[in-house]
Each structure stands twice: as structure tokens, then as C-alpha cells.
Chain A
Amino acid sequence: MSDLILIVDDARFARRIERKALEDAGFENIIEAKMASEAFEIFKEKKPELTLLDITLPDNSDLTLLKRMLKERPDAKIIMNSAIGQELIISDALEIGAKDFITKPFKEKEFIEKVVRVIKNV
């Protein structure tokens, strides 16, 4: 069984694209959440190896969920994911402790390379 990956995004389209890219690359153990509250419960209970976290969720603001997750598990591997590619937001997320940042729309290959790098701690 490959590493568990949690996808958090309120948009079905984004979840579908990410899941497909991951499955194509051979990741089989994927779980999805579309709300911040639901995502945090899964994160606590299932302890995913990697979390792909959309920056803008309806019940989340100002990177609150990222902070909560890192408080729960300071060594958690989290990649932020957003259609807003502003440098200020990216650097804020990285400063708080996200391992990387992926701007939508992404190229499948680059997305997978980042995922693998973060999982392997490279």
C-alpha cells in the first residue's frame, strides 16, 4: 500500500485532477475532503503522509487550517495548493511551515515531482 495522501479542495474539478495525476503516478491510497472541518478530522485520525491543501476553503481563512494541522503534527508534510499565485501568500504559507506550494493550473509532471520530493524529504 502506498503512502496515504489527503486532498483538501472545495472544487470537485480540482480534487478530480489531483486524484487522477496521483493515481497515474502510482499513488493508490488517496482520500479527499472538501471542507476545512472535515479535512482536519481526517488529518487527525488518519495521519496522512502528505496533505495537499487548497488555500481558499469556504470555512477557512488566512491559512488557519494549515496552522491547526501543523499545531497537531508539527512534522506534517503539507503542500499548499491555490489558483492565487501571489508571492506574498506563497511565502506566508512556507514561513508557517508548508513544505511547498503548487499554483493552479499545474502541469501533471511538475505536480508529481513536487509530491515525490516532499514525501521523500528531498
Chain B
Amino acid sequence: MDNNYADFKEEKLENVMSREELLLEHTHSFIVEYSFSKNTFEIFPEQNHYVNFDWKQLGPEREKEFLKTVFKPDVELYKHFIDLSDVTTSIRRSINIRLYVVPHIYEWFRITLLCYVNEAGEKEKTVMVFTNAEKEIEAIHELKSLVKVDLLTQLPNIDTFSMQTWELLKNHPDQQYAIVRMDMQKFRLLNQFYGTKEGDNVLRFVGVKLQECMDSEELYTYCHLSSDIFAVCMTNDMKSINRVIKYIQDSMDQYPLDFEMNMSFGIYMITEQDKIDRIPIVSLVDRAAIAQRVKNNYMNKIAIFDESIAAKEYAEQNVIMEMNNALGTNQFHIYLQPKTDAVTGKIVGSEALVRWIHPTKGVISPADFVPIFESNGFISEVDYYVLDKTCATIRRWLDNGIPAKPVSVNLSRANLYSPRILNDIMECVQKYNVPHDLIEFEITESAFAVDNVHLNNLMTELQKNNFRILMDDFGSGYSSLNSLRELTIDILKIDIKFLPGNRDDKRAEIILRSVIGMAENLGLDVVMEGVETQEQIELLQEIGCKTIQGYLHYKPMPVEEYERIVCEQADLTYDGSKMNE
């Protein structure tokens, strides 16, 4: 009986042991127990300890020996963790630390330490549970680093860059700094030609070269902003900045790819005021980008943000702030520039142009707002406004007996790709019940190069509805002839550049004759724009050009003035007050 009981007890104990072992094995854990009174160490289980340490060699130097198993950068942390010198009551603490599992290879472990202290304040024993937490902690680290660094290049992202840059500025306040922003010209093309995998290789390469190059500077921060854009904050010494620029460009020149990898650089010198106002770092990078946009081109790859750019940026910002209000308070006005018969000089039609007449600033030149509207998309609103006012004007002409001649309105490039453009046009023209042959649409030549299939569809729809299409600025771009082959336009508006400066310019004259001849053969009408001298008009008459537009006959003018002239030419009495009803 006694024997049986002893066997049962032993079996039971074995079961418990094996369950504990099972638990420890499955959680990749082991326990180290130390008794202060007996000065003994126990390891459980005796096998499978998962770390590179021989527990059997537990001599008096064991703690010192074990430090060799701790990953070097974590040693101080571990020492602090196991220091129990000021412990007076029982405690429990945990830490995550890297330990070598085999020579040179380390993994994360979570260590939980329990120290038992008796009522007399004497330490009795410590129990340390080591659990391998490699996968879990690596995943957490990976997630944490995603917030701070860019995954592709492993460089800091913009948020980390902003934080580090402010730290830099704060810690070294006497130093002057600059932001250098860089991107690669034609990076999109590189991705297209060689694939995004190679594009990513190139970006990683830029990242490494940036790190290598900044290593010789004393004070700096850097980041990979997005796509092919990188930024650096460094001392504003131009010699150092030029060295960085040269290093990066030279490195790119060595990249083994048959592709011209030109980098473009924008520089912004951080001012004391920027620091006082705590201008966001991202805005400073934007200023470097503005310098690039304004000044960089194929030849000029380095641009510094200066006063002229600052003034331009300020003016742009003003335009953007005021544009909506301007549209709502009718500050945009329609001016008409007549098109005339080259022989009689009489008005045969006109082009509607927009003028911004500001209540305090006066007339704002289209050159000062059209490019801004084009880049921010507001041009669509303005285009529609011009079309609406033009239709309303034509309606008034028809209702009041003023000779109604065709008016052409411009369709901006940004607007051409709007999905609602055709609907907008049809609705507007229907609203005023304007005969379609009195509205023409001018599309600038440079728009034709982008997506001729889309453009052709739009043009076909407009032409089906009896609107005529003009190709504006013909000859100013490089795709005109091809576009002429692909697209069925109705009227060619020839750019002033084709007009010979004087009658001795035989080459220009030959080109002009040929282009007009070609237009005739294609069945296109021609409008010659920019005619300014009598000599030019004589040549155009000789060549057979029928319609002209230019300062020689008329400048752009307010609608009322245009109406007065067409009435005079038709021998009608112009009554402005009635006409404007």
C-alpha cells in the first residue's frame, strides 16, 4: 500500500513536472532561481535554455560570465535591471533585452524578475523567468520604425525630420541653417522605362549616398519625403552645400544605368524670423521647392529661394486668397479683341478675354493670375464664367439688333480633362439660346500633345453640335504638325512668331507662305494673330490670308466699345444705354 502510494505520488509529481516543462517549452521559457541563504542556483528545465550560455559552469563568476550573453548595447540596461542593492520589500519587474542564442546571433527575451524579501527585510530568493519574445518584439519594433522612417530607404520620414530639425535648431541656436531639397528630373520616365523595382533601387541608392555624404558634416538632419524627393537641413555655408550637391550628382552619374540621372536642388536659407515664428519645417522645404519650380530648368539645376521668389510667392498667395471673392463680386470682366478682314479692316468676329479689375489694385494682368489659376484648377471656374458672360452678351446683341459676329472663348488645358466640360458648355449655351455658329472654342497648341484621343473625342462632340474649334498658338510648340494630322480642327490661329520681322526675312516668309498653303489644302480657315504693322498686313494680303487679329487694327476692348464699333461699321446708331439693358 505504502509502495503503491509512493508510486502514485511520484507519478503525479512527474505529471506536474512534465506539464511545467511542456508549458516552458511551448512558451520558449526557462526559469533561473537563486537562494540568498543557501547561495544556490537552480535552472529549470535543465535542458533547452535557448541562450548561448553554459549553465553548468555556474561558478562565482557566473553573473559576470552571463553578461557576455547579453547583446552588447543592452548590457548597461541589464546590469541596472538585476541590481537589487536598494530592494527592501518583495518586488516584481520586467524588461525586454537581447540575448545571444548562438554565437553572434541575438534574439529578444522578456525577463521577469521576482525578488522575495522576508518580514525581517532579508532577501530570500530571486526567480527570473526568461521568455523568448523575438517575433513579438521585432514586430513591435518594425511597426514603431514605420512611424519614424521611410520603409524603402530607411531614412527618417518628414515627421521625424521635422522633429529632429527643430531639435538641431534649438540645440545650436548660434548656427545658421539651410534646407536643401532635391529630386530627380525625369524620375517618372525612369520608372516607366526600367520599372518601379529599378526606380526603388535608385531611391535606395540616393538615400545611402545622402547618408554617406552628410556623415562628414557636423550638424545636419535629412529625410526621404516621398517619391523621389529628399531633404536635408545643414549649415548655410554655400561651400558645404555645394559639396553635398556635387557628391550627390557625382554619385548619380556613376549609377550603372543608361539614363541621364540629373538631380534638381532647391535651397532655402532659414531666417531668424522663421525660428521665432516656428514656421513648420515642411513649409521651409516647400520654399526650397518653390525656388526649384521658379528657377530650375534643364541647364540650371540649383535654385536658391530669394527675395524675388518671396515676393512672387506672396503675390501668388494674395491671388489665391482673393480669387473666389473676385468671381463672386464680378471683378472679372470680359474684353473682346476683334478679328478683322485683312483687306477691309472690318470686324468679322472676336476673341473673349478675361480681365481682372480689382477694386483697389486696378487692372491685374492675366500673366499674373492665369498661370496660378491653371496650376490650382481655378481656371475651370474662370473659363465657365467667361463662357457664361459671352453667351449673355451674344444674347443681348441678338435681342437688341447689334450685329452678332462669332466670339471665340478659350478652353484652358486644365479644363479640357474635366468630365463635365461638355455638359457645362451645352447647358450654358442653351440657357441663353445662343446659335452654336456664334460660339467658337480656342484650344492652345500645347494641349494637343498630351492626350489626343481624349481631345479628339471632345472636339468631335463639339463639332457635331456645330461649334467650331481653333488651334491657338500654332507654331509655338513642337507637336503642331502631328496634331494637325490627328485632329480635325476648323481654324488655325497662327502664332505671331511666323510673321517675318521685315520683308527681307525671306526664310520666315517662305515658312509663312507654306503654312498658309498647307492650311488651305487641309480646308482650314486661318487667323493670323499679333499683326502690328502695315508692312505685315500687306504681306498677308499678298499671301492670301483673309482674317487677322492684332494691335494694328484693334486691341482687346471692353464690350461696350466693341459694340459701338460694330454698329458704326454696320451704319447703325449705337445707343449704349439701350444696348446694355
Specify which chain A residues have a CB less than 8 angstroms from the CB of B105 in the assembled complex: 25, 112-113, 116
Whole-angstrom distance between the Cβ of B530 and the nearest chain A Cβ: 52
Name A10's closest neighbour in chain B (CB-CB).
Answer: B212
B297 at the interface (CB under 8 A from A): no
Name A22's closest neighbour in chain B (CB-CB).
Answer: B104
Contact B212 A105 (CB under 8 A): no
Interface hits, B155-207 → A, CB 8 Å: 198, 201, 204-205, 207
Contact B208 A104 (CB under 8 A): yes
A115 to B106, alpha carbons, bound, how many Å? 13
Contact A86 B216 (CB under 8 A): no
Size category of the A interface is 20 to 34
Given A56-B254, A85-B204, A105-B204, residue A23 in contact with residue B215 (CB < 8 A): no
A26 to B72, alpha carbons, bound, how many Å? 7
A24 at the interface (CB under 8 A from B): yes
Interface hits, A1-34 → B, CB 8 Å: 11-14, 16, 23-27
Contact A105 B72 (CB under 8 A): no
A84 at the interface (CB under 8 A from B): yes
Contact A105 B215 (CB under 8 A): no
Specify which chain B residues have a CB less than 8 angstroms from the CB of A109 in the assembled complex: 106
Contact A83 B72 (CB under 8 A): no
Choose among B104, B208, B257 the residue that contacts A116 (Cβ–Cβ < 8 A).
B104
Contact B205 A84 (CB under 8 A): yes
Contact A24 B72 (CB under 8 A): yes
Specify which chain B residues have a CB less than 8 angstroms from the CB of A25 in the assembled complex: 72, 104-106
A105 to B201, alpha carbons, bound, how many Å? 11
Whole-angstrom distance between the Cβ of B258 and the nearest chain A Cβ: 12
Contact A86 B104 (CB under 8 A): no
Interface hits, A75-90 → B, CB 8 Å: 83-86, 89
Whole-angstrom distance between the Cβ of A117 and the nearest chain B Cβ: 10
Given A26-B100, A27-B104, A105-B207, residue A85 in contact with residue B201 (CB < 8 A): yes
Name B134's closest neighbour in chain A (CB-CB).
Answer: A109
Contact B255 A84 (CB under 8 A): yes
Interface hits, A38-88 → B, CB 8 Å: 56, 83-86
A103 to B204, alpha carbons, bound, how many Å? 9
Contact B207 A86 (CB under 8 A): no
Contact B198 A86 (CB under 8 A): yes
B55 at the interface (CB under 8 A from A): no
A105 to B222, alpha carbons, bound, how many Å? 15
A24 to B74, alpha carbons, bound, how many Å? 9
Contact A84 B153 (CB under 8 A): no
Specify which chain B residues have a CB less than 8 angstroms from the CB of A56 in the assembled complex: 254
Whole-angstrom distance between the Cβ of B313 and the nearest chain A Cβ: 35
A12 to B71, alpha carbons, bound, how many Å? 24
Interface hits, A94-108 → B, CB 8 Å: 103-105, 107
Choose among A12, A83, A86 the residue that contacts B215 (Cβ–Cβ < 8 A).
A12
Specify which chain A residues have a CB less than 8 angstroms from the CB of B207 in the assembled complex: 105
Whole-angstrom distance between the Cβ of B330 and the nearest chain A Cβ: 58
Contact A24 B201 (CB under 8 A): no
Name B206's closest neighbour in chain A (CB-CB).
Answer: A83
A6 to B106, alpha carbons, bound, how many Å? 22
Name B214's closest neighbour in chain A (CB-CB).
Answer: A13
B73 at the interface (CB under 8 A from A): yes
Specify which chain B residues have a CB less than 8 angstroms from the CB of A113 in the assembled complex: 105
A28 to B216, alpha carbons, bound, how many Å? 25
B362 at the interface (CB under 8 A from A): no
Whole-angstrom distance between the Cβ of B62 and the nearest chain A Cβ: 19
Name A115's closest neighbour in chain B (CB-CB).
Answer: B104
A25 to B100, alpha carbons, bound, how many Å? 8
Name A11's closest neighbour in chain B (CB-CB).
Answer: B212
Whole-angstrom distance between the Cβ of A55 and the nearest chain B Cβ: 10
Specify which chain A residues have a CB less than 8 angstroms from the CB of B256 in the assembled complex: 84, 86, 89
Name A55's closest neighbour in chain B (CB-CB).
Answer: B256
Contact A105 B154 (CB under 8 A): yes
Contact B73 A83 (CB under 8 A): no
A84 to B198, alpha carbons, bound, how many Å? 10
Whole-angstrom distance between the Cβ of B103 and the nearest chain A Cβ: 7
A84 to B209, alpha carbons, bound, how many Å? 11
B240 at the interface (CB under 8 A from A): no
A112 to B101, alpha carbons, bound, how many Å? 13
Whole-angstrom distance between the Cβ of B172 and the nearest chain A Cβ: 21
Contact B215 A13 (CB under 8 A): yes
A113 to B105, alpha carbons, bound, how many Å? 7
Contact B209 A83 (CB under 8 A): yes
Choose among B100, B103, B104, B208 the residue that contacts A83 (Cβ–Cβ < 8 A).
B208
A104 to B155, alpha carbons, bound, how many Å? 12
Choose among A13, A86, A112 the residue that contacts B201 (Cβ–Cβ < 8 A).
A86
Specify which chain B residues have a CB less than 8 angstroms from the CB of A16 in the assembled complex: 215
Specify which chain A residues have a CB less than 8 angstroms from the CB of B216 in the assembled complex: 12
Residue of B104, B205, B207 most packed against chain A (CB within 10 A): B104
Whole-angstrom distance between the Cβ of B247 and the nearest chain A Cβ: 10
Residue of A11, A83, A103 most packed against chain B (CB within 10 A): A83
Contact A104 B204 (CB under 8 A): yes
B465 at the interface (CB under 8 A from A): no
Query: With contacts A104-B208, A112-B104, A115-B104 known, what are 15 further pairs, Cβ within 8 A?
Result: A11-B215, A16-B215, A23-B72, A25-B105, A26-B100, A26-B104, A27-B104, A56-B254, A83-B204, A84-B205, A86-B201, A104-B204, A105-B208, A105-B211, A116-B103
Q: List 23 A-B contacts (CB under 8 A).
A: A13-B211, A13-B212, A13-B215, A14-B208, A16-B215, A23-B72, A24-B72, A25-B106, A26-B103, A56-B254, A83-B209, A84-B201, A84-B256, A85-B201, A86-B198, A103-B204, A104-B208, A105-B154, A105-B207, A105-B208, A105-B211, A107-B154, A116-B104
Q: What is the interface of chain A, defined by CB distance below 8 A to chain B?
A: 11-14, 16, 23-27, 56, 83-86, 89, 103-105, 107, 109, 112-113, 115-116
Q: What is the interface of chain B, defined by CB distance below 8 A to chain A?
A: 71-73, 100, 103-106, 153-154, 198, 201, 204-205, 207-209, 211-212, 215-216, 254-257
The 5 closest A-B pairs by CB, nearest first: A13-B215, A83-B208, A11-B212, A105-B154, A25-B104
